[in-house]
Amino acid sequence: MSNDFALPNYYTMQVNGSTPKEEHKKRTKLQFETLKVPRASELVAEKLRSIILSGVVVEGQNLPPEKDLVSQLGVSRATLREALRMLETEGLISTKTGPKGGATVRRPGSANLTRSLALLLQLEETPFQMLLETRRMLQPICAELAAQRISSDELQGLQMALEMMRHNLDDIPNYLEAQLRFHLGIISAAHNDVLRLYTTSVGEIITAQTARIGLSEAERRTGLKAAESILAAIEAHDGALAARRVEAHLRAFETILHREK
């Protein structure tokens, strides 16, 4: 029998003085990520945040006085104040100093999301055209859903906004306010909170950037006709038609923006 056969790796390594497990130990160096221990203020903020979000303390209601919170939570006054600053930045509370001061629970508005989104877009150096493109994609979806889900009260609100546009054709600020109310009403009538928040924030950023742009009387009349046609499609519960008409209206607005450059 020939003795010149190859030994399996395991036996070869045993002959050489080490097993596969031992070789693995030699090659492997264990590394752990550094554990991040939350600061006391972050823990306090999380505790108060959960109380607010769970509805234990409702909007407009005051949190317990500072001295009571310090005692109950077992933290320093400085830690508590830092936690309250976090919640105020998030829009969950408003604070007032003085003998009758304190922290009052509030409901964050779209302004908080708009500020954060605007900052991120600036840091990313996002072109303004992308904002317009995003609105052109989101708002027709809202119109389509609104045609299916709008309530009688919401429909009446759109009709009132349209009437305000009609009566303020010669008053640009009031016309634009009514036009904004009309479009926000459509977004709200979609009954989709995620779409509502993001579409509103994108729209607010665009409005802030285009506030200087004036509309001629002909453009205001064209905008009124567009709103009338959009409302007619929503009243007919024709979502696809409403979406197309909103998109056409937004494209026309973008043409005006390009004209002003």
Q: What is the pLDDT of residues 196-252, one digit of tens each?
A: 999 999 998 988 887 777 788 999 999 999 999 999 999 999 999 999 999 999 999
With contact defined as beta carbons under 8 Å apart, do 87 and 117 qualify? Answer: no
Mean pLDDT of the chain: 87
Which position has the token pair 């609104």?
Answer: 146
What pLDDT, on a 0 to 100 scale, did the predictor assign at position 19?
A: 58
pLDDT band at 16 (very low <50, low <70, confident <90, very high): low
pLDDT band at 10 (very low <50, low <70, confident <90, very high): very low
- Identify which has the larger pLDDT, 125 or 35: 125
SS3 62: strand
Q: Is the pLDDT of residue 67 over 80?
A: yes
HSE of 152 in the Cβ direction (CA atoms, 13 Å)? Answer: 0
Q: Is the pLDDT of residue 73 over 60?
A: yes
81-90 contact pairs (CB < 8 A, 24+)? 82/41, 83/41, 83/42, 83/44, 83/45, 83/48, 84/45, 84/48, 86/41, 86/42, 86/45, 87/45, 87/48, 87/49, 87/52, 90/49
The lowest-confidence range among 11-15, 137-141, 173-177, 249-253 is 11-15
SS3 37: coil
Which position has the token pair 């954060």?
Answer: 116
What pLDDT, on a 0 to 100 scale, did the predictor assign at position 182?
A: 97
| φ, ψ (nearest 5 deg) of residue 253 | -65, -40
- Which domains does the chain carry? 40-105 (1.10.10.10), 111-260 (1.20.120.530)
What pLDDT, on a 0 to 100 scale, did the predictor assign at position 220?
A: 93
Which position has the token pair 């945040």?
Answer: 49
What pLDDT, on a 0 to 100 scale, did the predictor assign at position 34?
A: 76
What pLDDT, on a 0 to 100 scale, did the predictor assign at position 32?
A: 76
What pLDDT, on a 0 to 100 scale, did the predictor assign at position 25?
A: 59
The lowest-confidence range among 27-31, 104-108, 161-165 is 27-31
What pLDDT, on a 0 to 100 scale, did the predictor assign at position 195?
A: 95
Average confidence (pLDDT) over 135-143: 97
What pLDDT, on a 0 to 100 scale, did the predictor assign at position 99?
A: 73
With contact defined as beta carbons under 8 Å apart, do 57 and 95 qualify? Answer: no
Selection from 151, 146, 133 nearest residue 230 by Cα: 146
The lowest-confidence range among 3-7, 70-74, 79-83 is 3-7
Q: How far is CA 234 from CA 15, 23, 47, 239, 246, in A?
A: 83, 72, 44, 7, 11
- Identify which has the larger pLDDT, 30 or 21: 30
Percent of the chain with pLDDT over 90: 66
With contact defined as beta carbons under 8 Å apart, do 63 and 57 qualify? Answer: yes
Rounded-to-integer distance, Cα 5 and Cα 8, Å: 10
Whole-structure pTM value: 0.72
